[in-house]
Every structure is written in C-alpha cells, then in structure tokens.
Structure 1
Amino acid sequence: FEYFRAWLVEGLGYGDGSKDGRPPFDPVMMFKALILQAQHNLSDARMEFMIRDRLSWLRFLGLSLGDRTPDENTIRHFR
C-alpha cells in the first residue's frame, strides 16, 4: 500500500504543519480503511465501531490498542 502514498499525499494537499493543530491520520491507513469499508459495505458509523472492535482490522491498518482511531466524520471527510 505504500505504493499509493505519494499519490495520496499529493491529492490530499496536506500542509507542512506550520498552522499547528492536530496532525492528520496517515493517508495510507485511511486508504486501507476505505477499502475495508467498501469490501464490507459499512456505513461510516459502523466503520468507526469495527475499527475499534476488531484486532485484525487494527493490525491491518497499522494501529495498536492505544492509538487514536478515526471517527465517522474523519472517514467521511477523507472519502
């Protein structure tokens, strides 16, 4: 999935972080989340729950139990 990183960063137009604020989620991780969501035909709210519920999904997304996970609005805005 790292193959898509350059295209995702370019397409999303991430800034250089000079305005501070909360750092964005990793674009490759969010892309993987959208793939899971499409494969399982899930709503954004259900996707938020499934990411927190399934350890296999956390592992696939490269997250650990204590990591911040995207909420339904973040998923919707990324799409």
Structure 2
Amino acid sequence: MSDISPREPWPGYADLDESAREDLLAKKFQQAKDQNDQDYALALAAAVANYELVLELQPDTTRSEPVAARAAGLHDDAGSWMGS
C-alpha cells in the first residue's frame, strides 16, 4: 500500500466534517460566481469532486458522496456561465 495520499482542495479541508465541507464549498463557489471567475469555479468544483472520489477508492478514509455530487453539479453550473 502506498503512503501517497490525495491532495486536499485547500489546507484543512480533510479535517472538516461533511456538512462543513459542503458549506465551505458552496461559499467559495458563490464568491467565484459573484466575481464571475469561471476558471476558479471550475477548478474549485473539480478539485473537490476529484478529492472526494479518490477517497472513495482508498480504504479507511472519510469521504462524502453528497459533497462529491454537489461539486460535480457546481462544475456543470460553472461550465454553463456566459462570458461578459
């Protein structure tokens, strides 16, 4: 077994419980949306979804399918923004 672990989307993410992860993701995404920063929104959503999915593949980890699904939905949302 490898000692390589997935990289958190931001420092401290792994220490948060599922509710806090989802709340902070929503807050960061809304900030990106308010600033019309589509690139950051896409990167944010992808990073969270990928982190959660990687945890799913590793035994003995805490992962959150709802947060991964929410991040995937936000990624789709950000992808549909129209440029100003």
Per the TM superposition, whether the score is higher than 0.5 is no
Report the structure number with the largest CA radius of gyration. 2
TM-score, reference length from structure 1? 0.29
